[in-house]
């Protein structure tokens, strides 16, 4: 049949890349030559004289064509010209699609896999070969790889699937398009399916890009392949393409070459369960989810860099340190695969010989102890707070562990916990850990949308929650079998999809046995970051790392069995039993730190006879603000506290002083850390008082805790942390840390893991780039000067914000300040945005008097001073200033836009 020639120029594609070839057909096409359109960088690489390291064969889906891969083509050529690895990109237009030939042959999945094989054979590709697919190009490319395991060196896919669970309906868009009455109308006679797919891109495609995608499909005859592709979706067991898809799905576990799974979660076609299915079939695969991206991932995120970085790490680097390409090695069985990534392997090699006692060890030791383990201030028994003994807690953990195992919870299953802190959450958390389930902890401080993204992104197999949490899970369509924390009425349980309750599981567990313990290096928990520096990330911890955190906390703060712990800081609210001491969570909403009062802290201290109080900065601020309500008995209780800690964000010395007035016999600490490494350094109030006499800029956060190490990577002229790691004093740069309790990695964020990891040359262990900037002083103390994205690159060099902010805050009329950059990159100028005392009624430029005072307080040249009623802060801590948001706002105001709240 007649083909349409591609245009001589394609927007965003270099001349010389587009070409047509004719090859013999196969299968139903045997005996007929077919014309294919390709985007092929081979000729350009030849002109460059590049040493080609291999070929990436990229296969589009429906209704796109090879133009989908233009950013990969451009990025690969840029890298080759810069001296990087030269990968030849061969992006195909599948027959019936794009500018390839239209035929009269019905092309099911098996035929399309054969077609791709014929093309690869005709190109006579040598050396390494990697397949890349998107949408229905995923099964086609993976199908070829499954059939040619001896020839493929790596596989990568974007938003695709190889299996759809029986009984689960197809996505609505495909059901509508594929309905017999609608198929031709939506896919062939009109451009509805094409237009709908292109409209999924966010941000919207540029007009010329959209027009280029549409150009090969101008007439119904040219769109017949779109309809045929939709019709070929094997939605039922008797569909003609079901056997071929089953072959692909069944063959993936034997495909042990490096694998990369990229996904945009906002996809109406392929859901998280499709990604989960692929990850189960390819347990060694690297996975990266681009939060906020959707089906048209290739148009929405810089996936090309991720693919090429992954090839550098997993294919080229792995081969140089191990064996030869796939074409030279014997076929491997799935049992030969090490399912861990390189960082995990390194961590295991470093830590595997170190002793590790599990978190539940203290429960085993004290299972015959009737002393109090947990105090629940939200529940009362005869007017007194509910107290649970070590014996009762240990028994409950064992019962729940056995019951959960009998219910079907297996090692490695992810379990989302939607239960408020207290004895119930404590028991179910330790029960899950005991049987090797991976607990997912994301608090309500993320907001309902952030919480939903976090839970859905982990694709939990089970959800354990109270009624409100289960109702949210039902309304938002979260996955997982439902278990209720309380015993619900039958009607409510049915409405929420609840299969059983914790009480029923505990009852069944009394007749069962607790399974074998998990191994120290098995995954234990996914803890979500606050989302204050971008979408919340799931931080993965192993049992060994959680145990190391417990041990570091216990040693540094001298926690003993009779110490007692009150915590209003969610990440540490569950560590009491692991530390072997009483623990109490005060009356508050742990997802809203400012709900904690001084009276509630005193009540919790009395009930638990606590010697340690652990609060977030926002919680501590409200405790101080509500201290007038304290009774003499409350003040006496707080006088018994020996240590109080506040962490989660920088804590000002004035706040610590005010807190010390409430707990006068306690030593005040403010540890520095992050979700990825919850304890890095520590500093006391006395040490902060001493640091005030230092000329150093920033917030002093003290010296490393335990075996932790801190290094600095110096900033270059462009504000990048490019320097070698150093512990020399006075170097300003990114803070890089290492500790036995450092995270294992991020959940399904391979590219983020790669970016956050830092090679250190001669220093052993795993290292994490924190994203914070600061310096070490001559005494080894760390000073934090801001966040790396908030560094202002001026014409005279990079400026870190915290030091100048501290200077501005010495002005009597300023309560808080933020220093931000405005103007073009590398030539930005600085502006101060301040909260005033009394507060400003509306945002805008500061008065001439205040501007003069602020400029006189700092050595930093300021282009402008602006006032706001309140500086925007993050959701969880209510204390981290959102400087990026303020920078964009200040730029708009200084450009003449009418000021509104930032």
pLDDT digits (tens, 9 = 90+) for 567-598: 887 667 678 899 999 999 898 876 677 889 99
Instruction: State phi, psi for 29 to the nearest 5 degrees.
Output: -100, 0
- pLDDT at site 571: 64
**Separation CA 735–CA 209 (nearest Å):** 41
The answer to whether the CB of 57 falls within 8 A of the CB of 90 is yes
Kindly state which CATH superfamily the domain 792-894 is placed in.
Answer: ANL, C-terminal domain (3.30.300.30)
Q: What is the pLDDT of residues 101-157, one digit of tens each?
A: 999 999 999 999 999 999 999 998 878 999 999 999 999 999 999 999 999 999 999
Mean pLDDT of 668-688: 94
**Separation CA 481–CA 498 (nearest Å):** 7
- pLDDT at site 878: 43
Is the confidence at residue 335, as pLDDT, over 50?
A: no
Where does 681-741+758-788 sit in CATH, by number?
2.30.38.10
Q: What is the pLDDT of residues 473-490, one digit of tens each?
A: 998 888 999 999 999 999
Using left for φ > 0, alpha for ψ between -120 and 50, and beta otherwise, residue 747 falls in: beta
- Kindly indicate the confidence band of residue 317, based on its pLDDT and cuts at 50, 70 and 90: confident
Is the confidence at residue 867, as pLDDT, over 80?
A: yes
Rounded to the nearest integer, the mean pLDDT of the chain is 90
- Kindly indicate the confidence band of residue 902, based on its pLDDT and cuts at 50, 70 and 90: confident
The answer to whether the CB of 451 falls within 8 A of the CB of 533 is no
Beta bridge partners of 386: 376
- pLDDT at site 212: 98
Q: Which two tokens stand for residue 610?
A: 């606590």
- Kindly indicate the confidence band of residue 229, based on its pLDDT and cuts at 50, 70 and 90: very high
Is the confidence at residue 334, as pLDDT, over 70?
A: no
Rg (CA), the chain: 30
Q: What is the pLDDT of residues 351-367, one digit of tens each?
A: 555 678 999 999 999 99
In the chain, where are the structural domains located?
18-168+241-321, 357-543, 681-741+758-788, 792-894
> What is the DSSP code string of 489-537?
-HHHHHHHTEEEEHHHHHHHHTTS---PPPPTTSEEEEEE--STTSS--
pTM: 0.89
Q: Among 67-76, 135-144, 817-826, 865-874, whose mean pLDDT is lowest?
A: 865-874
Beta strands in 675-744 (DSSP E): 677-682, 699-704, 709-715, 721-726, 733-738
Q: What is the pLDDT of residues 252-300, one digit of tens each?
A: 999 999 999 999 999 999 989 899 999 999 999 999 999 999 999 999 9
Is the confidence at residue 669, as pLDDT, over 80?
A: yes
3-state secondary structure of 424: helix
Which of the four CATH numbers 3.40.630.30, 3.40.50.960, 3.60.70.12, 3.40.50.980 does domain 357-543 have? 3.40.50.980
Domain 18-168+241-321 in this protein, CATH class: alpha beta
| Integer angstrom CA distances of residue 483 from 377, 408, 591 | 24, 12, 22
3-state secondary structure of 9: coil
Q: Among 71-85, 623-637, 761-775, 855-869, whose mean pLDDT is lowest?
A: 761-775
357-543 and 18-168+241-321 share a CATH fold: yes
- Kindly indicate the confidence band of residue 91, based on its pLDDT and cuts at 50, 70 and 90: very high
| Integer angstrom CA distances of residue 53 from 86, 127, 149 | 6, 7, 19
Is the confidence at residue 615, as pLDDT, over 80?
A: yes
**Separation CA 878–CA 531 (nearest Å):** 12
């Amino acid at each position: 049949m007649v083909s349409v020639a591609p245009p001589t120029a394609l927007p965003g594609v270099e001349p010389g890349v587009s070409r047509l070839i004719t090859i013999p057909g196969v299968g139903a096409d045997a005996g007929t030559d077919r014309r294919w359109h390709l985007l092929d960088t081979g000729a350009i690489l030849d002109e460059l004289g590049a040493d080609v390291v291999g070929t990436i064969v990229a296969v589009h889906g429906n209704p796109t064509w090879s133009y989908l891969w233009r950013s990969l083509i451009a990025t690969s050529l840029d890298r080759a010209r810069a001296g990087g690895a030269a990968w030849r990109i061969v992006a195909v237009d599948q027959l019936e699609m794009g500018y390839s030939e239209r035929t009269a042959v019905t092309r099911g999945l098996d035929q399309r896999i054969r077609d791709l094989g014929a093309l690869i054979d005709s190109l006579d590709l040598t050396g390494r070969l990697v397949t890349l697919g998107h949408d229905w190009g995923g099964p086609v490319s993976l199908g070829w790889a499954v059939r040619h395991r001896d020839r493929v060196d790596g596989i990568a896919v974007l938003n695709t699937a190889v299996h759809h669970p029986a009984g689960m309906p197809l996505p609505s868009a495909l059901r509508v398009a594929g309905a017999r009455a609608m198929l031709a109308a939506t896919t062939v006679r009109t451009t509805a399916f094409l237009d709908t797919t292109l409209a999924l891109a966010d941000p919207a495609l540029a007009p010329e890009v959209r027009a280029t995608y549409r150009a090969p499909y101008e007439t119904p005859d040219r769109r017949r392949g779109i309809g045929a592709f939709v019709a070929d979706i094997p939605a039922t067991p008797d569909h003609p393409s079901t056997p071929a898809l089953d072959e692909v799905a069944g063959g993936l576990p034997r495909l042990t070459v490096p694998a990369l799974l990229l996904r945009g979660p906002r996809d109406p076609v392929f859901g998280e369960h499709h990604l989960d299915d692929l990850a189960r079939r390819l347990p060694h695969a690297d996975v990266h989810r681009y939060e906020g991206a959707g089906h048209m991932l290739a148009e929405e995120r810089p996936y090309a860099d991720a693919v090429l970085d992954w090839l550098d790490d997993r294919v080229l680097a792995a081969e140089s340190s191990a064996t030869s390409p796939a074409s030279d090695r014997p076929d491997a069985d799935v049992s030969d695969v090490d399912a861990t990534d390189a960082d995990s392997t390194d961590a295991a090699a470093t830590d595997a010989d170190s002793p590790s006692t599990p978190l539940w060890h203290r429960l085993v030791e004290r299972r015959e102890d009737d002393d109090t383990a947990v105090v629940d201030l939200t529940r009362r028994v005869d007017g007194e707070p509910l107290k649970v003994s070590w014996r009762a807690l240990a028994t409950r953990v064992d019962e729940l562990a056995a019951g959960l195992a009998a219910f079907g919870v297996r090692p490695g299953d992810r379990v989302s916990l939607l239960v408020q802190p207290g004895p119930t959450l404590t028991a179910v958390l330790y029960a899950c850990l005991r049987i090797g389930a991976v607990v997912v902890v994301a608090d309500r401080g993320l907001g309902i949308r952030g919480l939903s993204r976090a839970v859905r992104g982990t694709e939990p197999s089970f959800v354990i929650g109270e009624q409100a949490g289960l109702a949210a899970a039902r309304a938002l369509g979260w996955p997982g079998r439902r278990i209720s924390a309380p015993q619900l009425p039958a009607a409510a349980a049915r409405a929420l999809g609840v299969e059983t309750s914790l009480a029923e599981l505990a009852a069944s567990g009394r007749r069962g046995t607790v399974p074998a313990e998990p191994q120290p290096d098995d995954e234990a928990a996914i803890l979500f970051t606050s989302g204050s520096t971008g979408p919340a990330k799931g931080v993965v911890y192993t049992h060994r790392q959680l145990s190391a955190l417990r041990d570091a906390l216990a040693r540094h703060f001298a926690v003993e069995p009779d110490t007692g712990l009150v915590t209003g800081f969610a990440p540490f609210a569950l560590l009491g039993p692991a530390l072997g001491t009483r623990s109490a969570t005060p009356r508050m909403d742990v997802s809203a730190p400012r709900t904690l009062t001084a009276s509630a802290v005193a009540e919790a201290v009395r009930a638990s006879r606590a010697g340690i109080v652990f609060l977030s900065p926002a919680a501590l601020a409200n405790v101080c603000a509500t201290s007038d309500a304290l009774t003499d008995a409350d003040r006496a209780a707080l006088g018994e506290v020996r240590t109080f800690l506040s962490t989660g964000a920088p804590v000002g010395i004035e706040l610590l002083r005010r807190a010390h007035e409430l707990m006068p016999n306690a030593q005040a600490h403010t540890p520095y850390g992050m979700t990825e490494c919850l304890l890095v350094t520590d500093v006391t109030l006395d040490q902060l008082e001493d640091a005030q006499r230092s000329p150093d800029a920033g917030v002093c956060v003290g010296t490393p805790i335990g075996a932790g190490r801190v290094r600095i990577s110096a900033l270059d002229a462009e504000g990048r942390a490019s320097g070698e790691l150093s512990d020399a004093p006075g170097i300003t740069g990114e803070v890089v840390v290492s500790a036995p309790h450092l995270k294992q990695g991020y959940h399904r964020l391979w590219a983020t893991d790669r970016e956050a990891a830092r090679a250190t040359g001669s220093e052993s262990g795993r290292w994490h780039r924190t994203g914070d900037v600061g310096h070490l002083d001559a005494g080894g103390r760390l000073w934090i000067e801001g966040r790396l994205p908030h560094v202002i690159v001026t014409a005279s060099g990079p400026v870190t914000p915290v030091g100048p902010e501290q200077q501005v805050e010495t002005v009597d009329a300023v309560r808080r300040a933020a220093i931000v950059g405005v103007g073009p990159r590398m030539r930005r100028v600085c502006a101060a945005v301040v909260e005033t005392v009394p507060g400003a009624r509306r945002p805008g430029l500061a008065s001439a008097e205040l501007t003069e005072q602020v400029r006189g307080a700092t050595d930093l040249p300021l282009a402008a001073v602006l006032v706001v009623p309140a500086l925007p802060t993050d959701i969880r801590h209510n204390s981290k200033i959102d400087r990026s948001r303020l920078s964009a706002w200040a730029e708009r105001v200084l450009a003449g836009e009418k000021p509104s709240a930032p």
